Amino acid sequence: MSEFVTTRREGRMQQIVLDRPKALNSLDLPMCRALHAALDAAAADDSVEAVVTTSTSEKAFCAGGDIRALRDAAASGDHEKNHEFFSEEYAMDLAYHTHRAPTVAVIHGVAMGGGLGISINGSHRVVTKKVMMAMPETAIGFVPDVGASHFLPRLCGGGTRGLAVGIYLGVTGVRMGSADALYTGLATHLIDDEARGEFVTAIGREGLEAALEQHGLPHEEAGESAVEAQIERIEEIFSKPTAQDMIAALEAGEQDEWATATLGMIRAHCPTSIVATIELLRAGAEAEDLRECLDNELALGAWITARPDFVEGVRAVVIDKDRNPTWDPADLDAVEVDAIRAALSGS
């Protein structure tokens, strides 16, 4: 078990509490194992009608995986250690998705990377107005994982629009508020910031549906979605065949604040990660289920974390924080697409 994961039973509900506030609940291997064990215990108890994951932090639900530890292992050549972490993390994410009872995440503050794995893969994603979601992996030489290749292409109803939105979110790592989360489908419900405790208690005493009816707010109260405001442009641009085509379309279009910010994010991020993300999400859109997507992510993740870009990206963003990584290659045209496809297929 982990000192950073606790459980509490109240009535019909099994609550799982993330309690590593100094690290914004970043997930290490013992936490993943503890979360999986708690899910299994709840599945074995027929009296549990809902599993609810919460955080003790006012700043974060979960900021992702323990990137520093993953970077240290990669830098030392201990790729088996990282493979073990990702394998167990993804198995835990799958347990959220396939649980016999509803799995509810109460998301307040930062939720990124692995934090979306333990929330978006569940049945109910309940956000407050102070949520900030993102999949920022391309900024550190990695790719969106934890099931992102399953849930990102299926946002906004899936299809061409869903895949374009997923590629936009995955390639840029843009930050989203509650309105964006609700519009895209990352979130399913909205509650008041201060009602989190009462909402969780109500689930235990009265059941999930009664608690949602009592505390749920109209989605309109989250305000306007920045993604919705640009949805036509997102669909047009991020449906282009290649990253180079996407950049060209952005450059050819209206040079407003959105286009400038979007171009800036893409140009700053790892070229190999950008191409790999597009390939991964397109494969995910065609995948049969979450399990297949996680298998794809594990295969591609093993390849990409063994490359120097991952070590360099984490250094630049997380450790030294100079935001000045040296990517290899530094140009999208030099990225070996065939190598990415081979890694993705496990060949």
Q: Give 184-216 pLDDT, tens digit per residue.
A: 999 999 999 999 999 999 999 999 999 999 999
The CA dihedral of 41, 106, 294, 285, to the nearest 10 degrees, is 140
CA distance 215 to 211: 6
- How sure is the predictor about 345, in pLDDT bands with cuts at 50, 70 and 90? confident
Q: Which two tokens stand for residue 104?
A: 């509810």
Predicted pLDDT at 254: 87
* 101 contacts: CB under 8 Å, gap ≥ 6: 42, 43, 48, 49, 50, 51
Predicted local distance difference test score (pLDDT) of residue 1: 63
pLDDT of residue 225: 98
Is 232 tagged catalytic?
no
Q: Is 27 exposed, middle or buried (0-12, 13-18, 19+ CB in 10 A)?
A: buried
Q: Which one of 145, 180, 235, 279 is the catalytic residue?
A: 145
CA distance 304 to 144: 11
Terminal CA-to-CA distance of the chain, rounded, Å?
Answer: 36
- Opening angle at CA 31, ends 112 and 2, nearest 5: 145
Using pLDDT thresholds of 50, 70 and 90, give the confidence band for residue 346: confident
347 band by pLDDT with thresholds 50, 70 and 90: low
Do the beta carbons of residue 332 and residue 274 sit within 8 Å? yes
Is 90 exceeded by the pLDDT of residue 2?
Answer: no
Residue 232 confidence (pLDDT): 98
44-102 pLDDT, tens digit per residue, is 999 999 999 999 999 999 999 999 999 999 999 999 999 999 999 999 999 999 999 99
**For 308-335, what is the mean pLDDT?**
97
How far is CA 217 from each of CA 133, 186, 204, rounded to the nearest angstrom?
Answer: 19, 16, 20
Residue 241 pLDDT: 98
Q: Is the pLDDT of residue 172 over 90?
A: yes
Q: Please identify which of the residues 28, 89, 137, 279 carries the catalytic annotation.
A: 137
Say what the pLDDT of residue 72 is: 95
- Residue 40 appears among annotated catalytic residues: no
List the one residue out of 93, 94, 73 whose CA is nearest residue 82: 73
Task: Give the residue-averaged pLDDT of 109-128.
Answer: 98
pLDDT of residue 122: 98
Q: So what's the pLDDT on residue 73?
A: 95
Mean pLDDT computed over 111-119: 98
Percent of the chain with pLDDT over 70: 99
User: Cβ(313)–Cβ(276) under 8 Å?
Assistant: no
Would residue 137 show up in a list of annotated catalytic residues for this protein? yes
Q: What is the mean pLDDT of residues 252-269?
A: 95
159 is catalytic: no
Q: What is the pLDDT of residue 267?
A: 96
Is the entire prediction scored with pTM above 0.85? yes
DSSP string, 318-337: IIS-------SS-SGGG--H
According to DSSP, residue 268 is labeled: H
All residues at 6 or more sequence positions from 209 whose CB lies less than 8 Å from its CB, including other chains: none
**Model pLDDT, residue 302:** 95
Q: Which of 64, 109, 113, 114 is catalytic?
A: 114
pLDDT at 244 over 70: yes
Check 64, 65, 166, 173 and give the catalytic one. 65
DSSP 134: E
